[in-house]
Structure 1
């Protein structure tokens, strides 16, 4: 009886161990939804890092399978100083995942340097882009040791076989008939040499991975690489996962800023387009004059820079011109959460919001880092009871510097928008309201026409408001 009890105990322990170790990897399935963090001092570590850990969980669950032997991760992030994220990306590379990361040139943290050293360890040069490496890799895939090639042992039988087939002759001495390559075959060979938008480059090495810094922006002149999106060909049980965020993979974004992220799952069109833009960023393909925009169901994605952009064709202004403030007795409501806001662009967007307020819209704004001029202008509008204004900034240690503030960049619309009398919209992404974010820097915005997304974002806006100060202070 004791022996039977002992055996049952061992079986139960093994079952529990297997369940704990293999369960999350097989059951994980991200959903199309919004994710938000809560900075200090209001959130604990778990809620501080909600967004970052959501990305890291997707990294952990990206694994090769028989059906998907080479899954891919594409990342574009402005800042990266989190060693845990770096370790997880390196681990993904070493288990056979192709990891492709683009960083801003000003990143100089130890974790980012380590990531670049590992992912670029077996990268090689191909100056003429003929698909053939000009040099041999100095290290193995994902910074592993190079395997020494074993010398082939020659044996008499092998020599005899080679001698018999020398000069392409058969045993009877007759020449083998050579198959002439057609023009179609030659073109196929040429296409194979030159990597297309979806084809990996020989430069990336056998691990098909790299980490790159763009000089200024990747697709613009000057500016910064400021996009924040995270792509997974397959993670857990989900395929074609796109995450668009205001947050970087860094400590400051988790602890000191209110951020948001929206995840799109199973939308092949969206996934393919984000991968295409990532590749163009990798290859430093300059953006054209027209905006890059595409619609996929309830989602509209835009990629910047947009050369020759101005007040008339600025996509944010185009969106705001679609807002109609009154439908009968109802008034359209706008809720804004904006981090960086200044200059000519900041002013004409502010003017449009104030015009909408005068037309009868309910305009509610939380700001994080406006210029002094924009802040004064908005405060005057609040003083006149035209808008509801909130300041998210807090100086927690009394050193004269605001440590905590809103870092998200979104507008929420409920009411009449375009031809729809009663609808909701979420307009989010990485783009601040400054000129460089429009015409020079790499940026991504995402418009969402889903009621569920609006409910999630308006709940977040109200939570941030509860930790902000109503302006002006003399009310």
Structure 2
């Protein structure tokens, strides 16, 4: 059966994931392989550097993994995180906020860093807790008033119960010769993020004001208490960052969601509304603004509202292309009706164990794009731009109740890297396919 043909309950999991069809024995769809892939770690993966070097600096800018590529390409993002951990020294502080973790290689490096005097502070969502996290917590402890700890949030952390902690930020007060290092990613610290998902990561270093903003947000996250304001922002000429939770709650009755999100109050619609389709000279293509969107979960009422806005952009003269993974059938129809080219990046459909539970069997893709970015080349907020928006937020109702992060990256270099990534996914038959089908082929490395 196709996505639009199933008359089943549609649920959402904590990763901000849309859910796929329910099978007779379970009800929730999964966002990633529930356990480590059955592949032996390669030499490139198994041998991270462990001796800190004072002159080493983390690479700036974007990094992308490829679950269908070489061993080095699969672990490109986690390798950057491992290197940053390995180059911390006594007195430095590592702060990690993520949804999930099962990578033992990263855990081993964090334990080594802790033993050499690095403060390691980690906060995770509590939907799933792995043996790796339990092992780390035994070493780091769970007292938030200590220099090192590992704790789990009951909800979205900064706003109490309801929602989820969905940011994936790996930060270092110092790593090698660089200070104030932030790696924001769509990837969790899981094997599935490398072997079964396409993800991105972006590194910013030596931006003291941004780092201070992040540390303030992290301390709120770690306290796991309601905090105000829900939105915390930072801006510079090169990049801006939004830490956000839009709604006081996004579970239970949906009246609040319907009232707030059917309007321009949605942060995604607010961003899209600033796009103008007549590109200034020197921008866009043939006088038209070019928009490229690749988002993992895009479905439901919120997804439809966003799809209507994107369709309007196409009708106004923008040149839009879209890649979705969990793309709702109604949202896909709206986009296609507006003559927007649309492809899907989801593979190997079948039964699997849910990441939201240790024993629920779910149906869905086991290989897919986990990106959440879009690019604009043309008119934005009245001026010509080449810009990229990326981060952790999916285009579904669940994300409205989550702690999320969105980066805006300004300028040609980052725009070119992200646009090239979109184009490579679009043209690769092992990455994207026709919308509305459920391939059983297995292009990802885990299979």
Residue equivalent to 2:65: 37
Q: Is the CA contact 2:94–2:121 (under 8 Å) kept in the aligned structure 1?
A: yes
Q: 1:443 to 1:94 in 2, by over 3 A?
A: same
Residue equivalent to 1:56: 82
Distance 2:381 2:50 in 1: 49
Q: Is the CA contact 1:334–1:363 (under 8 Å) kept in the aligned structure 2?
A: yes
Superposed CA offset, 1:164-219 (max 9, x none):
xxxxxxxxxxxxxxxxxxxxxxxxxxxxxxxxxxxxx6x31xxx100010002101
1:324 to 2:276 alignment: yes
Superposed CA offset, 1:327-353 (max 9, x none):
375100111110011222211111110
Quick check: which has more Rg, 1 or 2?
Answer: 1
Q: 1:412 to 1:22 in 2, by over 3 A?
A: closer
Residue equivalent to 2:388: 426
Residue equivalent to 1:445: 406
Distance 1:285 1:297 in 2: 32
| Mapping 1:199-278, distance limit 5 Å | 203-204=145-146, 208-220=147-159, 221-278=161-218
1:454 to 2:412 alignment: no
Q: Is the CA contact 1:288–1:306 (under 8 Å) kept in the aligned structure 2?
A: no
| Mapping 1:26-425, distance limit 5 Å | 26-39=54-67, 42-64=68-90, 70-120=91-141, 123=143, 203-204=145-146, 208-220=147-159, 221-288=161-228, 291-307=231-247, 310=261, 311-327=263-279, 329-375=286-332, 377-378=333-334, 381-382=335-336, 384=337, 386-395=339-348, 401-421=364-384, 423-425=385-387
Q: Is the CA contact 1:287–1:305 (under 8 Å) kept in the aligned structure 2?
A: no
> In the alignment, which of 454, 459, 463 is matched to residue 424 of structure 2?
463
2:194 alignment partner, SS class: helix
Query: Displacement of 1:286 after TM fit?
Result: 1.8
Structure 2: stretches of 5+ with no match in the other structure: 1-48, 249-259, 281-285, 353-362, 438-447
Q: Is the CA contact 2:311–2:338 (under 8 Å) kept in the aligned structure 1?
A: no
Give the RMSD, CA atoms, in angstroms. Answer: 2.3
Q: Is the CA contact 1:225–1:443 (under 8 Å) kept in the aligned structure 2?
A: yes
TM-score with structure 1 setting the length = 0.71
Residue equivalent to 2:359: none
Distance 1:269 1:96 in 2: 25
Query: Displacement of 1:120 after TM fit?
Result: 0.1
Distance 2:287 2:351 in 1: 44
Distance 1:249 1:290 in 2: 25
More displaced, 278-287 or 239-248?
Answer: 278-287
Query: Displacement of 1:441 after TM fit?
Result: 1.1
Q: 1:314 to 1:288 in 2, by over 3 A?
A: farther
Q: Higher relative contact order at CA 8 Å, sep ≥6: structure 1 or structure 2?
A: 2
Query: Displacement of 1:102 after TM fit?
Result: 0.4
Q: 1:275 to 1:245 in 2, by over 3 A?
A: same
Q: Is the CA contact 2:51–2:87 (under 8 Å) kept in the aligned structure 1?
A: no
Q: 1:23 to 1:284 in 2, by over 3 A?
A: closer
Superposed CA offset, 1:206-263 (max 9, x none):
xx10001000210123111111001111101111111111000101111111100111
More displaced, 395-404 or 217-226?
Answer: 395-404
Distance 2:170 2:436 in 1: 39
TM-score with structure 2 setting the length = 0.76
Q: 1:413 to 1:280 in 2, by over 3 A?
A: same
Q: Is the CA contact 1:36–1:259 (under 8 Å) kept in the aligned structure 2?
A: yes
Query: Displacement of 1:290 after TM fit?
Result: 5.5
Structure 1: stretches of 5+ with no match in the other structure: 1-20, 65-69, 124-200
Aligned length: 359
Residue equivalent to 1:128: none
